[in-house]
Structure 1
Amino acid sequence: MCKRARHAPTDPRRPVGPPVQFRYRSGNEWKEIGSDALFKGRTVAVFSLPGAFTPTCSSTHLPRFNELAPTFKENGVDEVVCIAVNDPFVMEEWAKSRECDNVFMLPDGNGAFTEQMGMLVDKSDLNFGKRSWRYSMLVRDGVVEKMFVEPEEPGDPFKVSDADTLLHYLNKNAHEPDQVALLTREGCPFCAKAKKLLDDAGVTYAEVPLPHSIRTRALGAIAKAQTVPQMFVNGELVGDSDAVEAWLKQRRS
């Protein structure tokens, strides 16, 4: 079993530690930010994970924080930051390939910040070298208010450091954004109408274009329908473009 470094306490209500300088890549350019500039005078939601492109980090941890980042900001968080012990080039490429437009992807290439947080772990058995243990925390004005640290269990536990847990600590009544998906086809005027309605209302949605070869079967299996668009909200079928318009009106009322 991997053991975390013990160079710093993991109890909450403590400073994040001595200043650390981060170097990262943005827009194919080198940039720097110090931990003081990142944390002091601000409220920051941080999550840290073992590595870019690894399964749980890519499929669940990062996308959900990205999805909930606007809700974090509605509840007083200035920035959502992902910290990983990876080099800047890897973090830059990971950012380009994943859903993370709302998250500041910050490489801790030398592990300096992670070590002083007491979260550096040796994963040499996986040929990873030293990486971060998985955790999340809320930092207010440079002071750690709350940490959610995964238990010291074999493998890569993911039980408490998720975005929802940190958000509900921040505000147990926080309203999570609706998960909206729209089944469409290319050249469909009713699909264009539905997308414009959603765009004008500022609703974030995932468009799922259906190719001609499977459209009829897919629509029948998924929505019990024969035409597009078909919108789903939080797993429930809303319906076609007229139903989209009615849903938006009800949402505004």
Structure 2
Amino acid sequence: MELQNREGQYVPEVTLKQRKGGELVDVQTKDIFANRTVAVFSLPGAYTPTCSSTHLPRYNELAEQLFASGVDEILCLSVNDAFVMEAWGEHQEAEHLTLLADGNGDFTEGMGMLVDKTDLGFGKRSWRYSMVVRDGRIEKMFIEPQKPGDPFEVSDADTMLDYLNPEADRPSFATIISKPGCPHCARAKQALADSRIAYEDITIGNRDITSRSLRAMTGHATVPQVWIDGRHIGGAEDLKAHLDQAVA
């Protein structure tokens, strides 16, 4: 089957499903796309490796930049049922995304993206692609190349953002290891917040990390310990120096 680029055409008018407030809700595509700019990414299935580790999380990470570039909503579509999509979303970092179920494959088939994956035991699923839709009309499509496996080369969030806003900066992300009641940790967290750097806080003393873990990872026994974009920065004073240098 030859996948077709449908730029310039309108998206199919179908009914999708979503679990909301414990109820199964009908979602009309004509309501989603009308008078709005929507970024859509469609994937083979919830819980599959690339979808969970890279495709969905990066769209969530870049959501603020996508919204600032004119996107009203970011949709994740898959030929799964609404219960699966809801459960998957709860186990993912997806607070900025809308996950919709195309359980019958109606939308995907209408897009010409329904493919046979019976060799994997999946049945009919969506080919991996993304698109920008303005007022129901497809402006741009990024369709993964038709080759064996599950290619993931062009439907990613960074490619989408580059198309919408080539000058957009990528956000930095930080991890901080802290202890409850530590004033230096509070100071470091405030410094990250003031610099608009999103961070994950890992607290020593819970079941996931101990002081020994901290020493093994950093060679230090003091908190906080901060990483930004994969680089170990150090403690609160080290972080201040790093942020001051970045501003200078």
Q: Same fold (TM over 0.5)?
A: yes
Q: Following the alignment from structure 1 to structure 2, what is the Cα–Cα distance between the partners of residues 27 and 246?
A: 46
- Quote how far apart the aligned CAs of 1:171 are: 1.1
1:213 aligned counterpart, secondary structure: helix
Please list the CA deviations of residues 54-90 of structure 1 after superposition, one character each: whole Å capped at 9, or x if unmatched.
1110011000011011110011100111000000000
- Quote how far apart the aligned CAs of 1:178 are: 0.9
Q: Following the alignment from structure 1 to structure 2, what is the Cα–Cα distance between the partners of residues 130 and 244?
A: 50
Return closer, same or farther for 1:135/1:240 CA change in 2, 3 Å cut-off: same
Contact 2:171-2:197 within 8 A present in 1 as well: no
Contact 1:185-1:211 within 8 A present in 2 as well: no
2:198 aligned counterpart, secondary structure: coil
Letter in 2 for 1:239: G
- Quote how far apart the aligned CAs of 1:218 are: 1.3
2:80 aligned counterpart, secondary structure: coil
Please list the CA deviations of residues 3-38 of structure 1 after superposition, one character each: whole Å capped at 9, or x if unmatched.
46x6xx423121113x11112102322222211111
Contact 1:42-1:78 within 8 A present in 2 as well: yes
The percent of aligned pairs where both chains have the same amino acid is: 49
2:228 aligned to 222, 225, 233, which one? 233
2:174 aligned to 174, 180, 197, which one? 180
1:90 aligned to 84, 91, 101, which one? 84
Contact 2:85-2:101 within 8 A present in 1 as well: yes
- Quote how far apart the aligned CAs of 1:202 are: 4.7
RMSD: 2.0
Letter in 2 for 1:103: L
Q: Are 2:128 and 1:134 equivalent residues in the alignment?
A: yes
Q: Following the alignment from structure 1 to structure 2, what is the Cα–Cα distance between the partners of residues 164 and 214?
A: 34
Partner of 1:219: 218
Q: Following the alignment from structure 1 to structure 2, what is the Cα–Cα distance between the partners of residues 241 and 95?
A: 34
Partner of 2:108: 114
- Quote how far apart the aligned CAs of 1:239 are: 2.9
Q: Following the alignment from structure 1 to structure 2, what is the Cα–Cα distance between the partners of residues 214 and 176?
A: 30
Contact 2:173-2:197 within 8 A present in 1 as well: no
1:80 aligned to 71, 74, 82, which one? 74
Return closer, same or farther for 1:193/1:27 CA change in 2, 3 Å cut-off: farther
Partner of 1:194: 188
1:217 aligned counterpart, secondary structure: helix
- Quote how far apart the aligned CAs of 1:215 are: 1.9
1:194 aligned counterpart, secondary structure: helix
Q: Structure 1 residues 113-122 or 32-41, which shifts more?
A: 32-41
- Quote how far apart the aligned CAs of 1:240 are: 1.6
Report the count of equivalent residues. Answer: 243
Partner of 1:11: 6
- Quote how far apart the aligned CAs of 1:99 are: 0.8
Please list the CA deviations of residues 84-114 of structure 1 after superposition, one character each: whole Å capped at 9, or x if unmatched.
0000000000000111111100110110000
2:211 aligned counterpart, secondary structure: coil
Name structure 1 gaps, 5 residues minimum: none
Q: How does 1:3-82 map to 2 (within 5 A)?
A: 3=1, 9-17=4-12, 19-82=13-76
Letter in 1 for 2:211: H
Return closer, same or farther for 1:213/1:233 CA change in 2, 3 Å cut-off: closer
2:84 aligned counterpart, secondary structure: helix
TM-score (norm 2): 0.90
Letter in 1 for 2:58: R
- Quote how far apart the aligned CAs of 1:251 are: 6.4
2:133 aligned counterpart, secondary structure: strand
TM-score (norm 1): 0.88
Letter in 2 for 1:154: P
Q: Are 2:176 and 1:151 equivalent residues in the alignment?
A: no
Partner of 1:160: 154
Contact 2:227-2:233 within 8 A present in 1 as well: yes
